[in-house]
Amino acid sequence: MDKLARVSEVSQTEVKSEINPPLGQGLVKVTETIAKTTASEPLETPVTVEVKESPKPEKAALEAKPQPPKLLTIEKLNFYFGDHKVLKDVDLPILENSITSLIGPSGCGKTTLLRCFNRMHDLYPNNHYEGKIVMDGRNILDKGEDLIWLRSRLGMVFQKPTPFPMSVYDNIAYGLKLKKITNKPLVRELVEKSLKQANLWEEVKDRLKESALGLSGGQQQRLSIARSLAVSPAVLLFDEATSALDPISSAKIEEMMVELKKEVTMVVVTHNMQQAARISDYTALMWLGSLVEYGATTDIFTRPKMKMTEQYVAGNFG
């Protein structure tokens, strides 16, 4: 009870006051233990957030650089299922060639937000958007938006792998066919390229003609990613894409995502705090449909501005 009361108090006073904090406030210690912040709640285990050692120089360099340009800008986004408002005045930038994590407890609206980007909600009745998501100067939430075009620009990877019931090769070529790319050598080249990008080529190059349903779960997930990459999207949306996989398969996908930053911008919904800390450049915490805090991942995990963020990343609620 005490915890709940405190949390809602925090949310009333501090939600969405600080967005887009300045970057480049100096380097952060690689490993920091987040100390207990409130005396009333005993922490069962001290949570250690590790910012991985290896990508450190890159990360540091990235943070020292000026902020990359905004690819997508969410402005005052409200979203309703029927009369129920599930996203409340969300303002959030998605910066180019970076990974943005959306974290928050179940039901906080992070998946709902993710599915606004490629208008997945439009498949179902009784919901509507208010506000804007701006991409290339236009609001992609406009009624007249070409959803087929939009979805080929913003690919999506789901929680469960979704191999199509066809061969590995045809799975990747599927999106190319939709884009009327039928020149055989070109298709072959693009299939190989996207499988390589997804770190799957070596494992499947000898079984391209076999059914994709015979691959392991982790391979199927990388196949889904390769399939999205084949149509060269600007953004890839990951909806808890590694939560159904074993740690080794997850690690392979995380590694690949960091590699992919050069070519595509990623937005990742995750329940795995360590994953958010390891791979993302920016992190946004959501709670009850509102954005609590957004900032550079290192800031969110080591010196958050909001008490709520501090508690959430330390595992104290949610």
Partner 1 sequence: MRSHRGRVWTSRVALTLATLCALFGLGLLFLILYDIASHGFKSLSLSLLTEDPAGPMGGGGLKGAFLGQGLLTLVATLVGAPLGILAGTYLAEYGRDKRFAKMVLNLCDLAMSLPSIVVGIFVYSILVKPMGGFNGWAGAAALAIIMIPLVTRTTESMLAMVPWTLREAALALGSPYYKVIIQIVYRKAASGILTGVLLAIARIAGETAPLMFTSFNNNYFELNMNRPVPSITVSVYQYAGSPYEAWISQAWAAALVVTGVVLFLSVLGRLAVKWRS
What number of residues does the chain have?
Answer: 318
Taking the C-alpha atoms of residue 103 and residue 271, their distance in angstroms, rounded to an integer, is 6
What residues contact 209, with CB distance under 8 A and at least 6 apart? 167, 168, 169
Cβ proximity to partner 1: between 174 and 317 the closer is 174
Q: Give the nearest distance from C-beta 191 to partner 1 in angstroms.
A: 14
Pair 26, 302: CB distance under 8 Å: no
Residue 162 interacts with partner 1 (CB under 8 A)?
A: yes
82: left (phi over 0), alpha (psi -120 to 50) or beta: left
- Element housing 32 (H / E): strand 31-33
Residue 109: CB atoms within 10 A of its CB come to 22
Residue 88: CB atoms within 10 A of its CB come to 17
| Residues numbered 212-251 forming contacts with partner 1, rule: CB under 8 A | 224, 227-228, 231
Binding residues for partner 1, rule CB under 8 A, total 26
Cβ proximity to partner 1: between 59 and 151 the closer is 151
Find the part of the chain contacting partner 1 (CB under 8 A) among 51-59, 86-94, 160-168, 189-197: 160-168
| Residues numbered 120-159 forming contacts with partner 1, rule: CB under 8 A | 120, 123, 125, 148-152, 155-156, 158-159
Q: Which of 43, 75, 91, 174 binds partner 1 (CB under 8 A)?
A: 174
Cβ proximity to partner 1: between 169 and 312 the closer is 169
Cβ proximity to partner 1: between 157 and 285 the closer is 157
Pair 133, 116: CB distance under 8 Å: yes
Cβ proximity to partner 1: between 94 and 154 the closer is 154
Cβ proximity to partner 1: between 167 and 283 the closer is 167
Pair 278, 253: CB distance under 8 Å: no
Question: Contact residues for partner 1 (CB under 8 A)?
Answer: 118, 120, 123, 125, 148-152, 155-156, 158-160, 162, 164-166, 174-175, 178-179, 224, 227-228, 231
